[in-house]
Structure 1
Amino acid sequence: MAFYLYDELVESVIPVLVYWIYSGIFVVLGDKLDKYRLHSKAEEDTKNFVSKSTVIKGVLLQQLVQIVVSTVLLALTKDEIPRPNPPLFIIAVQFFIGIFVLDTWQYFIHRYMHINQYLYKRIHSKHHLLIVPYAYGTLYNHPLEGLIMDTVGGSLAFLVSGMTPSVAVYFFSFVTIKAIDVHTGIYWPLNIFHFFFPNNAAYHDVHHQLYGTKFNYEQPFFISWDKIMGTYMPYSLEKRKEGGYTVQPIRASKD
């Protein structure tokens, strides 16, 4: 049985490795990123209500659940004769469908966790202990939220899009990188993601501030649902004298 699940386990672990490698890059770069920070390094250490060691433990717990669910799902959907990967055009369509499903699922689940005071207090508020987001804190959530919002959402994206397992590895590695990108607290003007996706670290930073908790729910790619549902809060970026940027809300949409 262990041998039978080997391929599925490897495919499930790869996005987790991508998470720690990519977020680790921001840790290694450290002070070199100061001129792009939305909050100072000191604020990262003083404004957050949870220690970094606790964040790491929480993320690892969520990833363990993610690996187990993903491995089982891949095993249950495995064909006796492995399907060949489709042409690039079809893969691009599958990626787009997966992105749409994931963005839609996360928007409405995320928003409901703010509307429902019980769910917010007991579950989602854990993620908001990070007032100043940083890369490896991206998946710091209550385990139940991680299961519902991320793992179940990812499973739906995989099933609805019809990806093969090998294509799904690339898709979820891409999703992992993009999710980290919006939680880095780093606004790099030449970030290639900004040319394709309006959802960036500044956009999501609005949501982590007290004035913006009822806005900018969508993540990690587009902002369409926020605009359609009236929860979009535009912002401007002002350069700080000491380096970095300050995110300034422009107006509040009506919820």
Structure 2
Amino acid sequence: MGFRVSDELLGTFVPIAVYWIYSGFYELLGGLHNYRLHPKGEEEVKNVATKATVVKGVLIQQAFQIAVSLLLFTFIGDDSMTVSRQPSIILILIQFAIAMVVMDTWQYFVHRYMHINKFLYKHIHSKHHSLVVPFAYGALYNHPLEGLLLDTVGGVLSFLISGMTPRTSIFFFSFATVKTVDDHCGLWLPGNLFHVFFSNNCAYHDIHHQLYGNKYNFSQPFFVTWDKILGTYMPYSLEKRKEGGLEARPIKKID
């Protein structure tokens, strides 16, 4: 019998590989100044954390994700030696939609509470906001506790509530990873399909990372629904900078 990697292991490790591959792609494109939301030099001037610190922080969070994922699959049972029957494509699409809604809902309310609670913001969430100028591989640069509560628990809930199989989870979490990286990439590239199908994008999230947008645009990673329902939606316009590149600017009155 040939060696076969289980769907559970693929669902655990493939999204991590996707994270570094996709963020590496954006790092290679960082020199496209006409599409940057911030001038290149602002990363070093405005960001508190060094890039080496960011890499270390992301790897720590991903280690937590691996541990929780392996524990989850151990708890629900290991079917690695059997081939699970996949549901129909229609059911898989429904499961995707449910998982997206669950993840968005969980992340909106946890994320927003981390801004409302001064203790949590100061000691936990401010670590992510030390990146005033977001970049792709800093997407998961969080305090380990935030990573556990926001991303890992949100992923577990999305998986369990949607009822998806481990094989489907490989594709869902890889997709969610790509979307999260894209939202932090800082590049507004022409033809980006995420900008076509999602209002929640890198410009939308860039507003949130600025001081004036700290109380707005909490939604992540897919839709802007909860922001619009609960009055935390800040629309923006993309304008060209004199020195080249683009800038996302709010188009509503800031309280």
The answer to whether the superposition gives a TM-score over 0.5 is: yes
- Alignment of structure 1 residues 33-112 onto 2, 5 Å: 33-78=32-77, 82-112=83-113
Query: Aligned equivalents of 2:64 and 2:169: distance in 1?
Result: 18
Paired AA for residue 20 in structure 2: W
C-alpha displacement at 1:82, in angstroms?
5.0
Shift of the alpha carbon at 1:240? 1.6
**What TM-score does the superposition give when structure 1 sets the normalisation length?**
0.94
Does residue 168 of structure 1 match 2:200? no
Deviation at 1:248, TM superposition (A): 1.1
What 5-or-longer segments of structure 2 have no aligned partner? none
Is residue 203–residue 235 contact of structure 1 (8 Å, CA) maintained in 2? Answer: yes
Whether the aligned pair in 2 keeps the contact of 1:35 and 1:243 (CA below 8 Å) is yes
Matched position secondary structure for 2:238: strand
Counterparts in 2 of 1:61-210, with a 5 A limit? Answer: 61-78=60-77, 82-210=83-211
Alpha-carbon separation, structure 2, partners of 1:185 and 1:151: 24
Q: Who is 1:242 aligned against?
A: 243
8 Å Cα contact 2:212/2:254 also seen in 1: no
- The aligned runs of 1:21-32 (5 Å cut-off) are 21-31=21-31
Equivalent pair of 1:8/1:75 in contact (CA under 8 Å): no
SS of structure 1 residue aligned to 2:29:
helix
SS of aligned partner of 1:123: helix
* Mapped partners of 2:78, 2:60: distance in 1: 30
- Aligned partners of 2:78, 2:90: CA distance in 1, in Å? 22
Between the aligned partners of 2:254 and 2:99, the Cα distance in structure 1 is 28
- By how many angstroms is 1:223 displaced? 0.2
Number of residue pairs aligned between Structure 1 and Structure 2? 251
- Whether the 8 Å CA contact 1:231–1:253 is kept in 2: the answer is no
Superposed CA RMSD: 1.8
SS at match of 1:237: strand
2:95–2:163 CA contact under 8 A, matched in 1: yes
Q: CA deviation at 1:247?
A: 1.3
CA distance in 1, matches of 2:193, 2:254: 28
Could you tell me whether the CA contact under 8 Å between 1:230 and 1:253 is conserved in 2?
A: no
- Are the equivalent residues in 2 in contact too, given 1:106–1:150 (CA < 8 A)? yes
Q: 1:123 to 1:102 in 2, by over 3 A?
A: same
- One-letter amino acid of the structure 2 residue matched with residue 17 of structure 1: A
State the shift of 1:6 in Å.
6.1
Instruction: Say whether 1:221 aligns with 2:222.
Output: yes
Tell me, in whole angstroms, the C-alpha distance in 2 between the residues paired with 1:238 and 1:29: 20
Assess if the C-alpha contact under 8 Å between 1:48 and 1:129 holds in 2.
Answer: yes
Shift of 1:242: 2.6
Q: Hey, which bits of structure 1, 4+ residues long, moved more than 2 A?
A: 5-11, 78-83
Equivalent position of 2:12 in the other structure = 12
* SS in structure 2 of the partner of residue 238 of structure 1: strand
Q: Which whole-Å CA distance do the structure 2 matches of 1:96 and 1:7 have between them?
A: 21
Question: Is residue 9–residue 67 contact of structure 1 (8 Å, CA) maintained in 2?
Answer: no
Alpha carbons of 1:253 and 1:96: their partners in 2 closer, same or farther (altered >3 Å)? farther
Give the whole-Å Cα distance in 2 for the aligned partners of 1:7 and 1:164: 9
